[in-house]
């Protein structure tokens, strides 16, 4: 692969993963961030509105004379129920077995009761389904887009929205479309289900070379879990005696962690995070963060190839913008809805911010790659295009989860880049790969 990294921080540490010390790395605020806001331990389960609860959405003003005319996005579906029924039943069965042996502590009995309540709330027909919180997230995103870019979203706009055929994605699209139609007084063309769209909106299958390259991730993540995740205190608080292997304890701890972090997808008053210490939450987050990076980022441990699974999606961004360059009267948007497994490699392929980094020492990964900040529930990337009168010099800026973020190369000013420069860079990159 001919990957040229010209704009992002390239981290090449000399210490290999295998020789890391047992001490968890806490530099650059990653541990402090989670301690200050434990909901960020959710990684891909982090609720969008919990990502930056006090976020100032003020944007850097565009250069004089430039106004937005086109918005091109990829958005993950909103908050959802967990997908597999085992996510809800496995920890219940674990504690029920211990309860039969009279091994549960009072805290263990409380947890079992709470897990039973959650199990009753999650029948099979809710698995993977968008929650009320998910609808609210997309309502807010669409509202802010309309308010932020009124030149784009108005009654003469042409807006196309396309979605993966997965129901939670379709419903996320429909929620945003309803908001835009009401506020901009325009019609949003909504489309889903076509296989050619599915191929780039939710490309799930891996090319053989990528599948082979990321295969080592399983063993690396297993070693990371053994190194960082220590379930002894957690188990001792719930069980009177220790009857399971360390591996079984870690698995149980992870199941409860998944449930605990995804509770922010609901309005239920069930707090499962209270069973974990800050250190435990950070360790569990860290292992998941490594896993996502190895399978979606430019990880040298997996051949620095994973982001290329989304080359078709990046090509669609370029092609859609190209069709509008010569149409001076056009204004509108292309809205795409899919999954975090597409959003994460896409923004790495785009080289937004530091997301094109190649990190050899995984213990320092959270310097530049924190999944919670990349692909929370309803996570999104937005490219905003600007023009000035009859001037053909089109500018573009990128937003990741509605925060301005750098693109590869040199900006004209602030977060604004010449579209020609960005387009040429991405096209060359795609051509050379």
- Which residue in the block uniquely carries the two structure tokens 């939670």? 168
Question: 304 is in which domain, residue-wise?
Answer: 1-433
Sequence-distant (≥ 6) Cβ neighbours of residue 6 within 8 angstroms: 408, 409, 425
Kindly state the DSSP code that residue 60 receives in the 8-state scheme. Answer: P
pLDDT at residue 211 in the model: 86
Residue 234 or 205, more confident: 234
Residue 264 near residue 46, CB atoms below 8 Å: yes
- Which residue in the block uniquely carries the two structure tokens 């990321």? 214
Q: How many CB atoms lie within 10 A of CB 147?
A: 11
Segment 360-375 shows an average pLDDT of: 92
What is the tens place of the pLDDT at every residue in 294-323? 999 999 999 999 999 999 999 999 999 998
Give the angle subtended at the CA of 207 by the CAs of 206 and 210, to the nearest 5°.
80
Residue 330 near residue 157, CB atoms below 8 Å: no
Cα distances (angstroms) measured from residue 360 to each of 113, 184, 295: 43, 47, 14
Per the structure, how many domains does the chain have?
1
- Which residue in the block uniquely carries the two structure tokens 């784009």? 152
pLDDT at residue 1 in the model: 39
For residue 345 the two structure tokens come to 């490699």
pLDDT at residue 391 in the model: 65
Residue 320 near residue 314, CB atoms below 8 Å: no
pLDDT at residue 432 in the model: 83
Segment 158-166 shows an average pLDDT of: 93
Domain CATH for 188: 3.40.50.1240
What is the tens place of the pLDDT at every residue in 187-225? 999 988 777 666 778 765 667 888 888 999 999 999 999
Q: How many residues are given for the chain? A: 433
What is the tens place of the pLDDT at every residue in 380-405? 999 999 999 766 789 999 999 999 99
pLDDT at residue 328 in the model: 67
What is the tens place of the pLDDT at every residue in 100-147? 999 999 999 999 999 999 999 988 899 999 999 999 999 999 999 999
pLDDT at residue 6 in the model: 34
d(CA 109, CA 96): 9
Residue 76 banded pLDDT, cuts 50, 70, 90:
very high
Torsion of CA 209, 210, 214, 216, to 10 degrees: 0
Q: Any alpha helices (H) in 267-418, and if so which ranges?
A: 278-296, 311-322, 340-350, 371-374
Strand partners, 188: 159
């Amino acid at each position: 692969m001919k990957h040229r990294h010209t704009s992002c921080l390239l981290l090449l540490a000399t210490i290999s993963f295998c020789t890391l010390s047992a001490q968890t790395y806490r530099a650059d605020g990653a541990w402090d961030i989670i301690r200050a806001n434990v909901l960020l331990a959710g990684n891909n389960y982090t609720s969008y509105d919990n990502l930056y609860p006090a976020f100032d959405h003020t944007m850097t003003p565009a250069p004089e004379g430039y106004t937005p005319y086109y918005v091109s996005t990829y958005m993950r579906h909103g908050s959802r129920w967990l997908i597999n029924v085992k996510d809800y039943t496995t920890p219940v069965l674990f504690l029920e077995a211990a309860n039969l042996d009279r091994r549960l502590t009072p805290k263990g009995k409380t947890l079992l009761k709470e897990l039973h309540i959650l199990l009753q709330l999650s029948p099979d027909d809710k698995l993977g389904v968008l929650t009320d919180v998910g609808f609210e997230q997309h309502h807010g995103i669409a509202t802010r887009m309309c308010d932020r870019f009124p030149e784009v979203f108005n009654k003469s706009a042409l807006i196309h929205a396309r979605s993966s055929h997965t129901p939670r994605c379709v419903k996320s699209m429909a929620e945003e479309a309803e908001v835009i139609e009401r506020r901009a007084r325009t019609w949003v063309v909504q489309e889903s289900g076509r296989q050619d769209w599915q191929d780039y909106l939710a490309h799930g299958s891996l090319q053989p070379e990528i599948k082979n390259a990321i295969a080592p991730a399983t063993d690396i993540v297993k070693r990371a879990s053994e190194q960082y995740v220590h379930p002894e205190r957690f188990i001792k608080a719930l069980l009177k005696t220790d009857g399971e292997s360390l591996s079984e304890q870690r698995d149980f701890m992870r199941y409860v962690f998944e449930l605990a972090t995804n509770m922010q997808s609901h309005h239920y008053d069930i707090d499962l995070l209270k069973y974990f210490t800050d250190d435990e939450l950070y360790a569990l987050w860290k292992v998941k963060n490594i896993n996502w990076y190895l399978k979606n980022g430019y990880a040298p441990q997996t051949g620095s190839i994973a982001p290329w699974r989304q080359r078709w999606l990046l090509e669609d961004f370029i092609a859609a913008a190209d069709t509008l360059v010569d149409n001076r009267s056009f204004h509108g948007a292309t809205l795409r809805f899919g999954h975090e497994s597409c959003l994460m490699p896409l923004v790495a392929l785009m080289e937004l911010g530091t997301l094109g980094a190649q990190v050899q020492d995984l213990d320092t990964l959270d310097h530049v790659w924190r999944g919670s900040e990349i692909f929370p529930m309803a996570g999104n990337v937005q490219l905003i295009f600007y023009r000035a009168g009859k001037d053909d010099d089109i500018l573009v800026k990128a937003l990741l989860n509605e925060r301005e973020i750098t693109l590869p190369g040199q900006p004209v000013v602030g977060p604004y880049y010449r579209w020609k420069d960005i387009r040429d860079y991405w096209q060359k990159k795609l051509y050379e790969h």
